[in-house]
Amino acid sequence: AQSVTQPDIHITVSEGASLELRCNYSYGATPYLFWYVQSPGQGLQLLLKYFSGDTLVQGIKGFEAEFKRSQSSLNLRKRSVHWSGAAEYFCAVGEGVTGGGNKLTFGTGTQLKVEL
């Protein structure tokens, strides 16, 4: 069964600092990997996805992620965090089949706090 681990439950960074959020997955084949952000009282917004190909993927809001097959990871990065980035970040893995209907398995999330 597929699974996702986000080792950091809480992270605090200063505004303007760089950020890296960790995500490790377990899946028997090539997975589809996603990062979502959930701001307080909001739904889940898709930040970026990795399916295959280039291991460095770009997302929205200045986020990027690097896929490392050897480490079964897709870590999310941002060069300079703004205070508005305080939110909960979820990594998810979907079955690596084309088309839709894939069940997503989510990690427990990383709560990001930004200090001014």
Partner 1 sequence: EPEVTQTPSHQVTQMGQEVILRCVPISNHLYFYWYRQILGQKVEFLVSFYNNEISEKSEIFDDQFSVERPDGSNFTLKIRSTKLEDSAMYFCASSAGAEQYFGPGTRLTVT
Tokens of 99: 């088309």
Cα angle for residues 74, 77, 78 (degrees, 5° grid): 160
Tokens of 67: 């896929």
Taking a C-beta distance cutoff of 8 angstroms, is the pair 110, 88 a contact? yes
Binding mask 35-74 for partner 1 (x = CB under 8 A): -x-----xxxxx--x-x-----------------------
What number of chain residues touch partner 1 (CB under 8 A)?
Answer: 26
Stretch that binds partner 1, among 18-26, 64-72, 75-83, 107-115 (CB under 8 A): 107-115
Q: In terms of CB distance, is 62 or 96 closer to partner 1?
A: 96
Taking a C-beta distance cutoff of 8 angstroms, is the pair 65, 75 a contact? yes
Sites of contact with partner 1 (CB under 8 A): 32, 34, 36, 42-46, 49, 51, 90, 92, 94, 97-109
